[in-house]
Amino acid sequence: VLLSLPQEEDSEEEPKLKYERLSNGVTEILQKDAASCMTVHDKFLALGTHFGKVFLLDIQGNITQKFEISSVKINQISLDESGEHVGICSEDGKVQVFGLYTREGFHETFDCPVKLQMFVLHEGEGTITNVQWRTNLIAWANNVGVKIYDISTKQRITNVLRDNVSLRPDMYPCSLCWKDDSTLIVGWGTSIKICIVKERNPTEMRDLPSRYVEIVSAFETEFFICGLAPLADQLVTLYFVKENDEDFRARPRLDIIQSLPESCEEISSDALTVRNFQDNECRDYRLEHSEGESLFYIISPKDIVVAKERDQDDHIDWLLEKKKYEEALMAAEISFKNIKRHDIKKIGMSYINHLVKTGDYEGAARKCQKVLGKNMELWENEVYRFKTIGQLKAISQYLPRGDLRLRPAIYEMILHEFLKTDYESGLETLCSPLWPNYKNNMSYRYTYDQRYDKALEIYLRLRHKDVYQLIHKHNLFSSIEDKIVLLMDFDKEKAVDMLLDNEDKISIDRVVEELADKPEYLHVYLHKLFKRDHHKGQKYHERQIGLYAEYDRPNLLPFLRDSTHCPLEKVHGIYYFHEVTHVSRMGNCRRALQMIMEELANVDKAIDFAKEQDDAELWEDLISYSIDKPPFITGLLNNIGTHVDPILLIHRIKEGMEIPNLRDSLVKILQDYNLQVGKPLYQMDTDSY
């Protein structure tokens, strides 16, 4: 049962630990008794109770052995490294050390309650409430502070004074924990100190111990410390939480913190709903840990909770709970060798289901490629699901390809559905590289069913070589009237020959109409028509001049020579118009303007050309050419007002030259000028002209 309740239930921050109650035999024990202490061995657990009993438990909490030690509370239990001998001290002052499997050992009684068993290394500073032994170093706490003793040199190294002197040490006992062979963590009241035992420089020893202690970190916490344990370079801290109301007890907290020299950073914080937490005091809680597995045991009188680091499966659980399916799938793929409870394919299917549920059918279909892989059964199930929700189009483009193939019936079902409900999409799908084995089958099936119009469209989309044979064989000329462009796209030479051979079925006018937006195709058709018969397409000859000039200049003069249906004056104008366009595109604008003025003698076109190019040199050329041609001057006066200063043109007109409609042109110039400046420049007596 997960007992962690984050402070913010909707928090997006993933928990660091997971929790479960130690049950089985423990549940039975705590119904009749209460836990007072516990120690952890790699192989088993040893639990002491308020009624003086010691139980050996497996890691699931099942009872393997039971010892009746005393009639009063067990204060502490110690085990040797092998797990074969145990030392037990109880509230009545008795200490017992014996073999777990031989019961050989000794018993000793002291004058006062014994909190732990030890040799007499120090006395006279009150009750010793905690002791922790690591290699040659022993640390213990009494009413004054914490002492560290070096067994190898038989020297006491240091005395770390207690900070919270106002707190009763029996109600708020000291917590001691060795992080490694030289680092001791001390927690007392609301203060934490991290102490490192270091070797003293031989030149500094004199009468001092060979080792000394440096406090590398000291800081205050918000709540009262009940227990400490290391977690890599971080600390796990068990807190007793007491609010302002003295009678109110909140749930204990288990935090992971990062120690700093004078403060700490909270990494995670969980409030634990242990049984009867409202009745507990700070001294009722213990924190024990198993170094090898990063297991943390929170002991209280009526409950034992196990905290452990979350593994990759737990991480994936959290991602799925938060609907972060993409991240969950990625995490599973990266750690596929380490996950035990999760299956990559099942996570992927959950992701697909989520995308479908949220309406992202394209995303769901795209994920099918990655998730379903080579599992053809899953593929078929998904195809049927997408059909049910009307989304076959979404999944069709992601179906297995290459050597991986679904049953032909699946592909045919999709095609039939498309061609029935979404014909254009059906053709688009059919013509994709995904369907090489089914394209021809569909066209053959339509042919077999005598649905030749459908077969024809598939043939055209597929660029099937037999399309022309199909048209002739089944007389489909009425069906190709709106497909002439498709035929030309496929093979314009064959298409034109077929159209010309069957003029009685598809008229020249209809073909020209269909190709109106494809001038290059129209030229090919009309050119071949002209080669066959100079007179059949005569009404389009004038139009052909432009087509030849644009797409087939070498054949323009032969066409003009052989056609008797093009008026010479129009031929001249059209020909030179296209010549001008060609020269202009080549970048020779001055030559193009010269052709307009000299060959076409069209001042309006010359002015329009100069306006398009917006080049001062072209305007100068145009004025110079026009200055001795009165009709050209009239055209310039009427049109250049916004591009060239008309005064420049007027000054260059020879005195005495008769200019057609000069009066009207000058009035227009003045009107244009007034519009530009917003008020009349001067009054002019135009009658004098």
What is the DSSP code string of 60-95? T--EEEEEE--SS-EEEEEE-TTSSEEEEEETTSEE
Q: What is the pLDDT of residues 576-595, one digit of tens each?
A: 555 555 555 555 666 665 66
Residue partners of 9: CB distance under 8 A and separation at least 6? none
Strand order in the sheet with 155-161: 130-134, 137-141, 145-150, 155-161
Residue 218, helix vs strand vs coil: strand
- Does residue 176 register a pLDDT over 60? yes
Task: Give the pLDDT band (50/70/90) at residue 407.
Answer: confident
- Does residue 282 register a pLDDT over 50? yes
Cα distances (Å, whole numbers) of residue 369 to 300, 382, 408: 52, 11, 19
- Here the tokens at position 455 are 């077969």
Q: What is the pLDDT of residues 2-22, one digit of tens each?
A: 444 444 455 678 889 999 999
pLDDT at 680: 46
Query: Which residue type is seen at 394?
Result: A
Distance separating alpha carbons of residues 254 and 237, to the nearest angstrom: 6
- Here the tokens at position 556 are 């323009």
Range with the lowest mean pLDDT among 54-68, 342-356, 462-476, 497-511?
A: 462-476
- Here the tokens at position 46 are 């040893």
Task: Give the pLDDT band (50/70/90) at residue 424.
Answer: low
What are the φ/ψ torsions at residue 194 (nearest 5 degrees)? -110, 120
Q: What is the pLDDT of residues 27-66, one digit of tens each?
A: 999 999 999 999 999 889 999 999 999 999 999 999 999 9
More reliable by pLDDT, 310 or 641 = 310
Closest-CA residue to 474 (of 503, 438, 448): 448
Token pair 């093009």: residue? 566
Where residue 240 falls (left for φ over 0; alpha for ψ -120 to 50; beta otherwise) is beta
Distance separating alpha carbons of residues 388 and 381, to the nearest angstrom: 11
Distance of CA 594 to the CA centre of its chain: 63
Residue 310, helix vs strand vs coil: coil
Average pLDDT over residues 338-367: 92
More reliable by pLDDT, 396 or 639 = 396
Q: What share of the chain is helix, strand, coil (3-state, %, to 5)?
A: 40, 25, 35
- Judge whether 35 and 49 are in contact, CB under 8 Å: yes
- Judge whether 190 and 203 are in contact, CB under 8 Å: no
Distance separating alpha carbons of residues 624 and 541, to the nearest angstrom: 37
- Judge whether 560 and 571 are in contact, CB under 8 Å: yes
Query: Which residue type is seen at 31?
Result: Q
What burial class does residue 343 get, using C-beta atoms within 10 Å of its C-beta: 0-12 exposed, 13-18 middle, 19+ buried? exposed
Closest-CA residue to 192 (of 153, 222, 149): 222
More reliable by pLDDT, 380 or 205 = 380
pTM confidence score: 0.59
Residue-by-residue DSSP string for 459-513 = HHHHT-TTHHHHHHHTT-GGGSTT-HHHHHHHHHHHHHHHHHHTTTTS-HHHHHH
Distance separating alpha carbons of residues 495 and 48, to the nearest angstrom: 99
Residues in the chain: 689
Closest-CA residue to 627 (of 597, 584, 605): 597
Average pLDDT over residues 348-361: 94
pLDDT at 147: 93
- Does residue 425 register a pLDDT over 50? yes
Distance separating alpha carbons of residues 284 and 652, to the nearest angstrom: 115
